[in-house]
Structure 1
Amino acid sequence: MTRKVLWGIIVILLVTNATTLFFELKPNEQVSPSQENQAKPVKEEDEREPVATIDGTEITHQDWLTSLKEQHGEAVLEELINKEIVLQLAEKNDIKIEKKLIERELSLMETMQTITDDKTIQTKREQWEDQITYNYYLDELITRDIKINEDTIKDYYDSYKEQFDFTETYQLSHIVVSSEAEANKITKELKEGASFSVLAREYSNDESTKDKGGYLGYFSKESAYFPSEYYEHAQKLSSDAYSKPFKTNQGYILIKVHRTLPGITFTYDELKNQIKRQLALDYVGDSYSPKVLWEELNVNWMYGD
Structure 2
Amino acid sequence: MKNIKKLAAVAFMTVFVFSISGCNMIEKTPEAIANSTVAVVNGEKITRGDLDKDPNTIQLLSQVKQQYGEDYEKNQEAVSAIKTQKEQILDNMITNKVVEQKAKELKLLPDEKKLKTTADDQIAQIKKQQFGGSAEEFDAALKAQGFTEESFKSMYLSQLRDQQIQQKISDSLTKNVKITDKQIEDYYKANQDKYTEQTNKMHLAHILVKTKAEAEKVKARLDKGEDFSKVAKEVSQDTATKDKGGDLGTISYDDSNYDAQFMAGAKALKKGAVSEPVQSSFGYHIIKCIDKQEYPVKPLSEVKNQIKEQLENDQKSKLVSQKVQEWKKAASITKKEKNIV
Q: Which has the larger radius of gyration?
A: 2
Q: Greater helix percent: which structure?
A: 2
Query: Structure with the greater relative contact order (CA < 8 A, sep ≥ 6): 1 or 2?
Result: 2
Q: What is the TM-score when the length of structure 1 is the normalising length?
A: 0.31
Q: What is the TM-score when the length of structure 2 is the normalising length?
A: 0.29
